[in-house]
Structure 1
Amino acid sequence: VPAALVAGHGPFTWGAGARKSLEHAIICEAVADIALHTLSLNPTTPPPPHLLQRHYTRKHGPNAYYGNPDKAPTSS
């Protein structure tokens, strides 16, 4: 979603026109709402180790594919 979050400011969104920019703003707000609710459940819980490993490996592992769509796996 074409958007940028700036500390102490509302989100900046853009699109082909005003309607598309508004759509992106609504998506940005929905994601922020999900994040807020997730943190409110338990703000000190770290991500599960398997998730950290997965994201590290996709960029730095022997079969790294981050940034290279030709090597991206077809299923997760």
Structure 2
Amino acid sequence: MLCWEKSSTFGVKSIDIDPIPCYGTTHADYFYGEIPCVRCLTKEEINSAYEENTGHLIVSEFKRMKKDVMAVPAVLCKNHGPFSWGKDAKEAIHNAVVLEEVAKMAYRTELIHPQVAPAPQELQDKHYFRKHGANAYYGQN
């Protein structure tokens, strides 16, 4: 698995949304559920092994939230920005690009309709599982 750190306009702005809810099917096609935003590193974590501690934070928060890192291949880190990953560099970069678009859509959705609710779980499940998992049937090679 390869991790990618990407500069991001809407991913960084979306830290204010914290986390990025699933508002529609584009999000659900790539990320199962909300995209989390993890806390800022402490002063001690920043001053000792900063990069390593960033990785430890992401891993520990995904474990705490019981999120599957391959079902949600991206995260926002407060006061830092987005990270994405995948089975190889191409997939990690693709997930970064999709994260940016999903963040942009979420930002605009909340700007236009501040009280919008996330997409219903059954719609999220339909879009995610038709492309991922043992019974995937949509967009397969």
TM-score in terms of structure 2 length? 0.31
From 89, 99, 106, the counterpart of 1:28: 99
From 38, 47, 52, the counterpart of 2:117: 47
Unaligned runs of 5+ in 1: 56-76
Unaligned runs of 5+ in 2: 1-30, 32-72, 122-141
Q: State how 1:1-76 maps to structure 2 within 5 Å.
A: 1=31, 2-43=73-114, 45=115, 47=117
| Residue of structure 2 equivalent to 1:59 | none
Distance between the aligned counterparts of 2:85 and 2:116, measured in 1?
32
Deviation of the 1:32 alpha carbon = 0.2
Distance between the aligned counterparts of 1:14 and 1:35, measured in 2?
21
Amino acid at match of 1:17: D
Deviation of the 1:47 alpha carbon = 2.8
Larger radius of gyration between Structure 1 and Structure 2: 1
SS in 2 for 1:47: coil
Distance between the aligned counterparts of 1:36 and 1:46, measured in 2?
11
Distance between the aligned counterparts of 2:78 and 2:104, measured in 1?
16
SS in 2 for 1:11: strand
Q: State the structure with bigger RCO (CA 8 A, min sep 6), 1 or 2.
A: 2
Aligned residues: 50
More strand by share: 2
Distance between the aligned counterparts of 2:105 and 2:116, measured in 1?
17
RMSD (CA atoms): 2.3
TM-score in terms of structure 1 length? 0.54
Deviation of the 1:46 alpha carbon = 5.1
